[in-house]
Structure 1
């Protein structure tokens, strides 16, 4: 289904959204929407963003596997009064105009993540307008004053600590929305210093380092694959909140004598035949380490999928539990007497919802397939085994909606309100030492320089030998 916001008067691609998901149509020209106007609905038809409410949630339309932040208009100011409320209502209408009447992207749509960047800029603008109250000769500004008076906008840009590129994009969208809808003409962002700093394309990975990555991850994959048959039962055992706690902690909790004691982590690993698996890079001496170790295991699997398929980050993160299928590339060959001459040939194919080159410019998720060699199949099977164990803790079904990279945060100390979400791999604790140990050598730098002659890799501190 379509998951981007479409300008030109409607919020969605009507050909790809089920009827229950469709929001309301926008009023024409400068008519403000009613309080109950719906900007976004989930797949069940429940409104998640209503114009008259101060919390708007556009997660049903996101392309990313990761959840985006909700927009909380009521949290901009520490206290609420008439002046703050006036800014909030003004911001709501501007944001509404951005969604319905802006002209964003290559295909005229604004992605919800882009709206998130615009909201951050608009929030900064609201706070700036209210902060002028401390200046008696100025007083509280409206957003209209900020966006139409050059002196005010100059001051905001000088003082503001925000993404200037995103702010420029937002002003451009409001400028295209037009005076008929806004009631005023926004200053042209091109007349201000709002350029993004220059950035380089991500460099190629030198051949030697790429092959080293394959070798190192292959060894680690072999270590983890030994436990493929017991990950599920091992993780499911943690439904008992006292399972794998050290004996001293269990004594302090007063569990009722030795007969009621649970095995500690080393004993639990031994009972499940995982002592040789959870070693070195994946050592797990205590229960508190298990969540991080499982994240490392998922991170290794994700790295292998990238190495062998070339999938993008979110293409991998959108994979579901049932992502492997067998495709027959050659059927059984029989002669005229019905005798089988050639057996059917099959390959493993990884099928996921992706955001690829063909779908990137259409703005919706489209199913695609990648050839999955043996290493990728093993990596996915490890993730599936982990997912089965975690699914029992989350009490969710292993269907086409269940993410393959289910977040192991359910194993943390604050598990009661844990939401079913995909794993995030931002923590530096997840970086595998074996991968970090790979270094750049002179031959790698030569290859980098040849890959992009216009770029000076030799002077960049990130590529020091």
Structure 2
């Protein structure tokens, strides 16, 4: 029979465990019970501390405090002491008294967030945490006051953990609500999960505008980056030297360039060392978003990137960009390494963040060489609080560094530039999902500002970064052109690189990109073939007209049936220069002749020719031929191709004439 309980947490290799708990004890641990310690046995935190520092147990040795200070203002009162005691009791039970697999640091932080919310509510209502989680009526009142789907889901998980804890001692046990209430919470969780699956892709006009705004911000900062960083470091060293802020604050604006002043005051008219330092955090926030735009990373994946995350590869004269990181799920303290393909813009964003980070590390006496030595202990998005200009300076402990809080909601004026919803955006959403009542949802109203979330960036990239022809907006096609090519090369099924990138990570963005491939292709097929108002020609276009439509031109197949055929691999659709191709698998004609001359000659059964596209190709071909030597073989070849293109155009016009 066990007489001691060990902490059930992820313990990285060579780390030293907290104290074990004596199960013969009838009460909670004493205030000097060690909850974290260094490898040499040095005590880091004890049970009585207001903050349990678990940084030493973080798999990448990053700052990781479990903070029980749930209030923002005021002193510690007797009520707050009691609530903190309850919070620690709950955390103690799930860390030491469970018999299941260890919990990761991230999971513990999530549970503590819920316990923090319970403590705030308990203080406001003059209750205790134990009273709330043990009473169905009180727990439902708490949920009505805190309706966040994530919070309720995490609360449900926490309560089920506490149900499984049986200490055998009444003083240690915590009573929780019964199965009926837990089932009610579970039902709510299912609804929450369903809503997560309904993340709307961003309409192409708005999506392109968001990307353009982020890149414009980055470009404007790059022009003043050196001045920005030099000024902050100069002020930091002056303050460190004599602590007299007046030495640099009185003439700080007078010595700055107009471009730099304009960059800082674009958010507010205030130009001080505080706003200048805050702008560094904004640069980090924008850089993180651009990285997400061009990789599909989740928030936590981007936030946890290391300083040396960017890898540049040159192959066959082409430059490729890979960003290395870790997944959000940790495996018993072992890090699951992963990587994402990106493009030049994603690499630019990483390099901008590196410049900011390097300045912060320099302020802490850490050189570029030392940053490399720190490896994963050097986060890319290190907090600018280390400068100490926007609050109390953060102290560095054990070569571990805090990460900046880069919440989307804090983007300020830049977030205000996100476009408002126009009629064309709603039409696009209705075409993407005609069964969803978009106008019945408050956030999709005409004239309302688009409500941006980072998950939408992931969803939109997965849907639009394909060569399906779904994206017709020229600006967005140009913005996504390179990343689409890279993802097709690295993530496509059958790619020799895919396994190396996915590394058994079932939640890697590449899987979502693969899963969206059939959706993107089927939607493009529906819009550009089945519902197209343009004149179409070709073997497949003829088949659609005579097999899938009635005599009045109405479709005889529904949307779901079409999408199911794509999902099963019975049909495919790829955009081509003159229209599209429905051949499943690779088409050898496109590889040897980009104008699809043989397909046009033979009227291939997979061919779809779009008249406006064909006319644009003819104009481009005529312009190209005009620059050739009329006596050359190339001229004769291209003229013959032009003849085929014009012959196809004439056939389409003849068919149109017959039908009119």
User: TM-score, normalising length from structure 2?
Assistant: 0.51
Partner of 2:574: none
Which structure has more RCO (C-alpha within 8 Å, separation ≥ 6)? 1
Partner of 1:431: 412
Rounded Cα–Cα distance in structure 1 between residues aligned with 2:75 and 2:157:
21
Equivalent residues of 2:18, 2:36 under 8 A apart:
yes
| Shift in CA distance, 118/422, structure 1 to aligned 2, threshold 3 Å | closer
Partner of 2:109: 113
| Equivalent runs, 1:41-80 vs 2, <5 Å | 41=37, 46-51=42-47, 55-61=51-57, 69-71=66-68, 78-79=77-78
Partner of 2:35: 39
**In the alignment, is residue 377 of structure 1 matched against residue 347 of structure 2?**
yes
Equivalent residues of 2:324, 2:339 under 8 A apart:
yes
Equivalent residues of 2:249, 2:272 under 8 A apart:
no
Correspondence for 2:382 among 379, 385, 406? 406
**In the alignment, is residue 223 of structure 1 matched against residue 192 of structure 2?**
no
Partner of 2:208: 211
Correspondence for 1:448 among 426, 429, 448? 429
Equivalent residues of 1:11, 1:100 under 8 A apart:
yes
| Shift in CA distance, 440/68, structure 1 to aligned 2, threshold 3 Å | farther
Partner of 1:351: 324
Partner of 2:455: none
Partner of 2:279: 293
**In the alignment, is residue 176 of structure 1 matched against residue 164 of structure 2?**
yes
Rounded Cα–Cα distance in structure 1 between residues aligned with 2:167 and 2:319:
61
Rounded Cα–Cα distance in structure 2 between residues aligned with 1:71 and 1:304:
34
TM-superposed CA distance for 1:369, in Å, is: 1.8
Equivalent residues of 1:20, 1:45 under 8 A apart:
no
Task: Give CA-to-partner distance per residue, 1:211-232, whole Å, 9 cap, x none.
Answer: 2323333333333333455544
Task: Give CA-to-partner distance per residue, 1:436-458, whole Å, 9 cap, x none.
Answer: 24222333323434555564321
Partner of 1:186: 175
TM-superposed CA distance for 1:434, in Å, is: 7.4
Rounded Cα–Cα distance in structure 1 between residues aligned with 2:211 and 2:288:
13
Correspondence for 1:393 among 363, 366, 383? 363
Rounded Cα–Cα distance in structure 1 between residues aligned with 2:424 and 2:9:
50
Counterpart secondary structure, 2:168: helix
Partner of 1:340: none
TM-superposed CA distance for 1:460, in Å, is: 1.4
Equivalent residues of 1:288, 1:412 under 8 A apart:
no
Rounded Cα–Cα distance in structure 2 between residues aligned with 1:368 and 1:46:
33
| Equivalent runs, 1:309-320 vs 2, <5 Å | 309-320=295-306
Partner of 2:17: 22
Rounded Cα–Cα distance in structure 1 between residues aligned with 2:63 and 2:431:
36
| Equivalent runs, 1:298-337 vs 2, <5 Å | 298-327=284-313, 330=315
Q: RMSD of the TM alignment (CA)?
A: 4.7
Equivalent residues of 2:93, 2:165 under 8 A apart:
yes
Correspondence for 2:393 among 403, 411, 417? 417
Partner of 2:481: none
Rounded Cα–Cα distance in structure 1 between residues aligned with 2:27 and 2:91:
12
| Shift in CA distance, 27/121, structure 1 to aligned 2, threshold 3 Å | farther
Equivalent residues of 2:385, 2:393 under 8 A apart:
no
Counterpart secondary structure, 2:312: strand
List gaps (5 residues or longer) in structure 1: 1-7, 133-140, 244-248, 331-342
| Shift in CA distance, 285/421, structure 1 to aligned 2, threshold 3 Å | same
Q: Which has the higher helix share?
A: 2
Rounded Cα–Cα distance in structure 2 between residues aligned with 1:66 and 1:436:
34
Counterpart secondary structure, 1:19: coil
Rounded Cα–Cα distance in structure 1 between residues aligned with 2:214 and 2:96:
47
TM-superposed CA distance for 1:166, in Å, is: 4.7
Partner of 2:505: none
| Shift in CA distance, 351/28, structure 1 to aligned 2, threshold 3 Å | same
User: TM-score, normalising length from structure 1?
Assistant: 0.68
Equivalent residues of 1:387, 1:406 under 8 A apart:
yes
Rounded Cα–Cα distance in structure 1 between residues aligned with 2:129 and 2:297:
46
Rounded Cα–Cα distance in structure 1 between residues aligned with 2:87 and 2:102:
22
Rounded Cα–Cα distance in structure 2 between residues aligned with 1:374 and 1:283:
33
Rounded Cα–Cα distance in structure 1 between residues aligned with 2:426 and 2:381:
35
Rounded Cα–Cα distance in structure 1 between residues aligned with 2:86 and 2:217:
55
TM-superposed CA distance for 1:368, in Å, is: 1.9
List gaps (5 residues or longer) in structure 2: 396-400, 447-660
Equivalent residues of 2:249, 2:273 under 8 A apart:
no
Counterpart secondary structure, 2:234: helix
| Shift in CA distance, 268/458, structure 1 to aligned 2, threshold 3 Å | same
- Compare CA radii of gyration and give the structure with the larger one: 2
Aligned residues between the structures: 407
Rounded Cα–Cα distance in structure 1 between residues aligned with 2:110 and 2:58:
10
Counterpart secondary structure, 1:20: coil
Bigger mean CA deviation after superposition, 369-378 or 39-48: 39-48
